[in-house]
Amino acid sequence: MTTVTEIAPSAIVTESIESQEHWNNWPNTKGFDPEYEERTPVELQVTGKIPAYAAGTLYRTGPGKSQLQTEEGQTFHLSHWFDGLSQTHRFQIIDSGESEPTRVLYNSRFSTDELIEYVRKTGSLARLSFGQKRDPCKSIFNKVQSEFHPPTGPSGMNIGVTLSVNMPGLGPQPEGESTERWGASQGIRTLYAKTDYNGFKKLDPETLEPIGLATQESLHPELTGPLAASHARSDPKTGDMFNFNLELGRTCTYRVFGVSASTGKTTIFAAFPGTPAYLHSLLITEDYVLLCVWNSHINPLVLREKSFMDSIMPTDPSQPATWYVVDRKHGKGLVATYESPAFFCFHTINAWQEPSKEDPTKTDIVADLVRMDSTEFITSLYYDNLISSRPSAKEFAANRKNALRSTITRFRLPALPSSPSSDILKATVEWSAGKSLSPELPTMNPTRVTEKYRYVYATTSRGEATLADGIMKFDCESQESRLWSRHGHSTGEPIFVANPEGVSEDDGVLLSVILDGLSGNSYLLCLDARDLTELGRANVKGPVGFGFHGQHVPTMGMPTGDY
């Protein structure tokens, strides 16, 4: 059984006297439909202390607006959280010197102005959505829609799930054969937003204005398929980026590729047929790219007329998940294929190689991820379920508490063949833990990527809210967890920033954007990653929408990695 230690409130946290009125006092409406925007940086009030080594730039992205007023006097409602009109946020954490406290500046920008204007005029999203339900008022707008062409500019594309700073292969590369991924000497040259569709949106790193579009085809002419992973993976030493491209057709083809950070050159390591699926992330080890086709299989024919979510077929527990191991260093292509029991996953955590338990002369791959039993969680993320003021939200939260649970799960792919093999091998589950906390949005110390590690940080979904209700630290060795939570405060993804002078894996801080549902405003929270005690916070003067993911670029130390 997993042991959970809860962290007591610190002296700088003010608890509401109404905290016992649990559900009525956890309002989150502003987090799902924020109107707040600061296009010019403003300084935030800081309480407590944010360590100087956390200085740098924290970017966040995710859904912004979820409803709009049309010119016809109707209210256009987005159905699914993943279709929220994206907004990007920038926190500048500034080290003012030993005698002065750390400062924080904040600016943000809605990044779909052109699309918003189109929706106001037509009452339609115009193109494929993730989960938009059919609009009963659509007939009212049919004539209007025919008079306007769908937007094609950067602010007309709703791309905002993950962010990449200085993405290899797009934009200027550093001079020479530098292996430095980024940092003070290289600076923030480019900022791109990504999604699970084959498209990138270029943002101005300072103003956050959308300024360009690109696709994976910009990296290599053969990467023409429509689907990819929002979470590319980056080598922590070289900065090389790895992802896949899925081409749909009678035969669906996966292409696994890498982009050199030093040259910008893209190499396709392997191309192979496979069952098409919605894959939000993948993994890398020191020598391999690990692509798991878990049980979120899609029907490409449905995409022609319905939403992407409609194309995702129910999880069939009789169909195994398939793991593809692709060599990324020696040109061996697809090395091995494994199968494991059926499951679904959004977010992988880490993978590494170690001597095989069965034969020390061979190599095992160990892979950790957040596992769910089925794709049911995707279908639950409609705004009607998430916005606490709506009638179905309370029932949904109870269901999350009892049924829609996730675990941190460790898989082992044993005895990797020394040369490419067509045999189907068996992957095993070593352990699963954390079900009582239902972790999601996992992160870790980026210095341990592709190595055996100990600690995972994640948000929790214990049923106290419709979405995230805490931050956890999980010890993979002891199976123990620590929990930070505050009543009425909805948590965002915790980003780990390592202490460059630290000697332990967990020496650093966590940065997370929190919505205080009782005040209606958000704040940037800084926790000690060792024990989850609060060190400080920077108070925003409005609500920051519940986002997906972020990227921290430090003034010194190790970047957070491309997750």
Instruction: Give residue 561's pLDDT.
Output: 66
| pLDDT reported for residue 224 | 97
CA atoms 467, 472, 475, 481: torsion sign:
negative
57 confidence band (pLDDT: 50, 70, 90): very high
In which band, very low, low, confident or very high, does the pLDDT at 465 lie, cut at 50, 70 and 90? confident
Residue type, 501: E
Other beta carbons within 10 Å of 357: 11
Average pLDDT of the chain to the nearest whole number? 89
Percent of the chain with pLDDT over 90: 72
In terms of pLDDT, which residue wins out, 149 or 532? 532
3-state secondary structure of 422: coil
**Can you give the pLDDT at residue 171?**
74
C-alpha 10/C-alpha 534 separation (Å) is 6
Rounded Cα–Cα distance for residues 200 and 126 (Å) = 19
Amino acid at site 471: I
Q: Tell me how far the alpha carbon of residue 46 is from its chain's centroid.
A: 27
What are the φ/ψ torsions at residue 94 (nearest 5 degrees)? -115, 125
Residue 26 pLDDT grade (very low, low, confident, very high; cuts 50, 70, 90): low
Q: What is the pLDDT at residue 1? A: 53
Say how far apart CA 285 and CA 350 lie, in whole Å: 8
- 60 — phi, psi (to 5°)? -135, 145
Give the global pTM: 0.92
What mean pLDDT comes out for the span 283-311?
93
For residues 431 and 8, which has the higher predicted lDDT (pLDDT)? 431
Encode 235-257: b = buried (16+ Cβ within 10 Å), e = exposed. Answer: bbebbbbbbbbbbbeeebbbbbb
Lowest pLDDT segment from 15-19, 39-43, 87-91, 312-316: 15-19
Structure tokens at 472: 């956890």
Please give the pLDDT value at position 149. Answer: 76
Q: What is the pLDDT of residue 467?
A: 86
Q: CA–CA separation, 109 vs 96, rounded Å?
A: 26
In the 3-class helix/strand/coil scheme, how is 385-421 assigned residue by residue?
A: HHCCCCCCHHHHHHHHHHCCCEEEEEEEEEEECCCCC
Residue predicted with more confidence, 404 or 257: 257
Task: Give, in order, the Cα–Cα distances in Å from 88 to each of 38, 79, 107, 123.
Answer: 11, 21, 9, 24
Span 506-533, average pLDDT: 96
Which has the closest alpha carbon to 124: 138, 114, 143?
Answer: 138
What residues pair up with 534 in beta bridges, in sequence order?
Answer: 527
Tokens 């042991």, located at residue: 3
Percent of all residues in the chain with a pLDDT value above 70, rounded to a whole number? 88
- Residue 489, annotated as binding a ligand: no
Instruction: Compute CA 192 distance to the chain's CA centroid, rounded to the nearest angstrom.
Output: 14
Mean pLDDT of 206-229: 97
Least confident of 146-160, 189-203, 512-526: 146-160
- Comparing CA positions, the residue from 495, 469, 504 lying closest to residue 484 is 469
From 153-157, 237-241, 303-307, the region with the lowest mean pLDDT = 303-307
Show the DSSP H helices in 278-381 as ranges: 308-311, 376-379
Which of these, 559, 555, 551, lies nearest to 193 by C-alpha position? 551
> What is the distance between the alpha carbons of residues 494 and 510, in angstroms, rounded to a whole number?
6
Q: Using only C-alpha atoms, what is the Rg of the chain?
A: 23
Q: Is 231 annotated to bind ligand? A: yes
> Which of 303-307, 450-454, 461-465 is predicted least confidently?
303-307
pLDDT at 43 over 60: yes
Q: Per-residue confidence at 185, pLDDT binned at 50, 70, 90?
A: very low
DSSP E strand boundaries for 220-342 = 233-234, 241-247, 253-259, 266-273, 283-284, 288-293, 321-327, 334-340
| pLDDT of res. 402 | 63
Average pLDDT over residues 102-122: 95
- The answer to whether the annotation marks 297 as part of a ligand binding site is no
Which position has the token pair 């391999």?
288
Q: Say how far apart CA 558 and CA 550 lie, in whole Å.
A: 15
Determine the pLDDT at residue 297.
97
**Higher local confidence (pLDDT), 378 or 174:** 378
Structure tokens at 372: 């769910």
DSSP for 123-150, please give it. Answer: SS--S--SSPPPPTTHHHHHHHHHTSPP
Sign of CA dihedral 167, 449, 181, 40: positive
What does the pLDDT look like over 355-411, one tens digit per residue?
998 889 999 999 999 999 999 889 889 998 888 788 777 777 666 666 678 999 999
Angle between helices 113-122 and 138-146 (to 10 degrees): 110
Continuous segment of H or E residues that includes residue 436: none
Helix boundaries (H) for 90-132: 113-122
Q: Which is more confidently placed, 176 or 451?
A: 451
**For residue 58, what are the contacts with CB-CB under 8 A and spacing of at least 6?**
90, 91, 93, 495, 511, 524, 550, 551, 552, 553
- Greatest alpha-carbon pair distance for the chain in Å reads 71
Which residue carries 């460059």 as its tokens? 500
pLDDT tens digit sequence for 400-459: 666 678 999 999 999 999 899 999 999 999 999 999 999 999 999 999 999 999 999 999
Instruction: Report angle CA 263, 264, 266 to the nearest 5 degrees.
Output: 115
- Residue 553 corresponds to which amino acid? V
Residue 32: name the closest of 358, 311, 383, 504 by CA.
Answer: 383
**Does the pLDDT at position 14 exceed 70?**
no
Compute CA distances 57 → 87, 241, 511, whole Å.
Answer: 16, 21, 11
Quick check: 483 pLDDT over 70?
A: yes
Residue-level pLDDT at 99: 76
- The per-residue pLDDT for 125 is 83
Choice among 141-155, 257-271, 392-406, 472-486 with the minimum mean pLDDT = 141-155
Residue 80 is labelled as binding a ligand: no
The residues near 360 (Cβ < 8 Å, ≥ 6 apart) are none
| Distances in whole angstroms, Cα of residue 508 to Cα of each of 20, 96, 444, 530, 534 | 33, 19, 11, 7, 12
Measured in whole angstroms, the distance separating CA 341 from the mean position of its chain's CA atoms is: 24
126 Cβ contact list (under 8 Å, min separation 6): 115, 118, 145, 150, 151
Q: Which residues sit opposite 551 in a β-bridge? A: 59
Distance of CA 123 to the CA centre of its chain: 29
Give all strands (DSSP E) within 485-557, no chain letters.
489-490, 495-498, 508-516, 521-528, 534-539, 549-554
Residue 233 has pLDDT above 50, yes or no: yes
